[in-house]
């Protein structure tokens, strides 16, 4: 680690080796920051990380298990793991010297991080990936749980030195609590998610659903069940590919599963083999979804429900992707997916919109300016 560079720690309450929205965001941050700053990732994992092999100049500190893995355990046990995570963070942050600590959407670990900042005097940047209180309410939580999440989120925003919002709706919601805020949207490397898309022939079409799909995740469970219950409504020439980890598989001649993909390259190859991607969201997230912008970057048309669009600005339904209610999705796909003129138009518009607003090239300078302002 270069002692002359600004020392930045990225706190991730997840395993850096897995693939989900939060981890993908951290990975993209490293693409931009790793050679400009001395970066340490503080990650939850019970094993030694091999992640540093991808970034030789990034230090990874694994501090044990993550509370997120224990959604199914009793309340007191959840509190135990949350306390353990905070104590682990305190130990690492007090033992090391950092100039800036970036908290990647970790509400539960923020109290430990905040206490350490008062001792070590580092600056705290919080990345607001969505509005957690809204997400919790969307999942059906009310009463004390919802109030606790809302108050904790307000505390975090107010006590951060700077807040990075990933979408305009998130920034507009939180700027009343902290004026030191800016927008740095979800972004991807459009050179990696390239547009050499080769769709299949007119007689057969392949549609992808992007995971992971875990049975204990309400949003992911509903997405998969929507396909399984409606499969017979789709044109018989349409097949489906479920991409990524999937806990609930069924035997069906028109559905195949990739299983967990251990590289971005394999994932991109899967996307490029598709004629379209289907994103069915029945429980909305207030933050933008990578599973929408990644295929768009590869010029793969996306069919999505309205709740999949929340947090995605600049992208126009009917122009850059196709948006329908779940009940109408099968009939609309049957009608449109064999229309090559329309699909090619959507593909072209999607790629152009991602390059303009959601690419690494379009966003990296702003992100660098934010971090460099703390040096």
Beta-bridged to residue 277, according to DSSP, are 208, 302
Could you give the percent of the chain with pLDDT greater than 90? Answer: 64
Q: Strands 238-243 and 38-43, how do they pair?
A: unpaired
pLDDT band at 49 (very low <50, low <70, confident <90, very high): low
pLDDT in tens, 73-89: 565 667 888 888 899 99
What's the length of the chain?
Answer: 375
pLDDT at 71 over 80: no
pLDDT of residue 274: 95
Sequence ranges of the domains in the chain: 7-187+360-372, 205-358
* Highest CATH level, class, for 7-187+360-372: alpha beta
pLDDT in tens, 146-190: 899 999 999 999 999 999 999 999 999 999 999 999 999 999 999
Beta-bridged to residue 62, according to DSSP, are 43
End-to-end CA distance of the chain: 17
pLDDT band at 66 (very low <50, low <70, confident <90, very high): low
pLDDT of residue 74: 61
pLDDT at 339 over 70: yes
pLDDT at 72 over 90: no
pLDDT of residue 285: 73
Asked if the domains 7-187+360-372 and 205-358 are classified in one and the same CATH topology, the answer is yes
Q: What is the mean pLDDT of residues 2-6?
A: 76
Chain centroid to CA 277? 17
pLDDT in tens, 291-303: 999 999 999 999 9
CATH number of 205-358: 3.40.50.2000
pLDDT at 218 over 90: no
pLDDT at 253 over 80: yes
Question: Tokens 């299949």 — which residue?
Answer: 200
pLDDT: which is higher, 56 or 26:
26
pLDDT in tens, 81-115: 888 889 999 999 999 999 999 999 999 999 999 99
Q: Rounded to whole angstroms, what are the CA distances from 200 to 16, 181, 204, 238, 274?
A: 35, 45, 7, 11, 7
pLDDT at 225 over 70: yes
Question: Tokens 């963070």 — which residue?
Answer: 89
pLDDT at 52 over 70: no
> What average pLDDT does the structure give for the chain?
88
The 3-state DSSP class for residue 213 equals: strand
Question: Tokens 């109408």 — which residue?
Answer: 328
The span from the CA of 203 to the CA of 205, in Å, is: 7
pLDDT of residue 224: 87
pLDDT at 284 over 80: no
pLDDT of residue 46: 63
pLDDT band at 44 (very low <50, low <70, confident <90, very high): confident
């Amino acid at each position: 680690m270069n002692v002359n560079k600004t020392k930045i720690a990225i706190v991730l309450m997840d395993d850096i080796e897995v693939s989900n929205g939060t981890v993908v965001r951290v990975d993209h941050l490293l693409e931009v920051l790793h050679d400009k700053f001395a970066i340490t990732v503080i990650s939850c994992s019970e094993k030694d990380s091999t992640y540093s092999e991808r970034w030789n100049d990034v230090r990874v500190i694994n501090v044990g298990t993550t509370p997120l893995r224990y959604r199914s355990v009793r309340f007191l046990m959840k509190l135990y793991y949350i306390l353990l995570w905070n104590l682990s963070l305190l130990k690492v942050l007090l033992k090391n010297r950092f100039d800036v600590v970036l908290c990647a959407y970790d509400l539960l670990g923020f109290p430990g991080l905040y206490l350490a900042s008062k001792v070590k005097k580092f600056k705290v940047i919080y990345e607001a990936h969505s509005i957690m209180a809204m997400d919790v309410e969307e999942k059906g939580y009310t009463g004390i749980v919802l109030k606790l999440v809302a108050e904790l989120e307000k505390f975090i925003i107010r006590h951060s030195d700077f807040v990075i919002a990933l979408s305009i709706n998130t920034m507009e919601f939180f700027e009343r609590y902290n004026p030191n805020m800016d927008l740095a949207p979800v972004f991807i490397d459009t050179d990696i998610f390239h547009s050499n898309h080769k769709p299949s022939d007119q007689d057969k079409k392949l549609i992808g659903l992007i995971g992971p799909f875990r049975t204990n995740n309400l949003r992911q469970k509903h997405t998969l069940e929507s396909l399984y219950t409606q499969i017979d409504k789709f044109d018989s020439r349409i097949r489906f590919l479920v991409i990524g980890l999937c806990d609930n598989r069924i035997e069906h001649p028109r559905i195949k599963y990739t299983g967990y993909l251990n590289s971005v390259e394999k994932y991109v190859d899967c996307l490029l083999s598709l004629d379209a991607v289907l994103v069915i969201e029945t429980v909305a997230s207030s933050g933008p979804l990578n599973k929408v912008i990644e295929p768009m970057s590869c010029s793969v048309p996306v069919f999505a429900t309205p709740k999949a669009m929340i947090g995605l600005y600049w992208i126009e339904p009917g122009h850059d992707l196709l948006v329908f209610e779940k009940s109408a999705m099968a009939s609309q796909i049957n009608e449109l997916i064999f229309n090559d003129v329309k699909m090619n138009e959507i593909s072209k518009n999607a790629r152009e919109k991602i390059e303009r607003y959601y690419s690494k090239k379009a966003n990296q300078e702003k992100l660098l300016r934010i971090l460099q302002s703390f040096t």
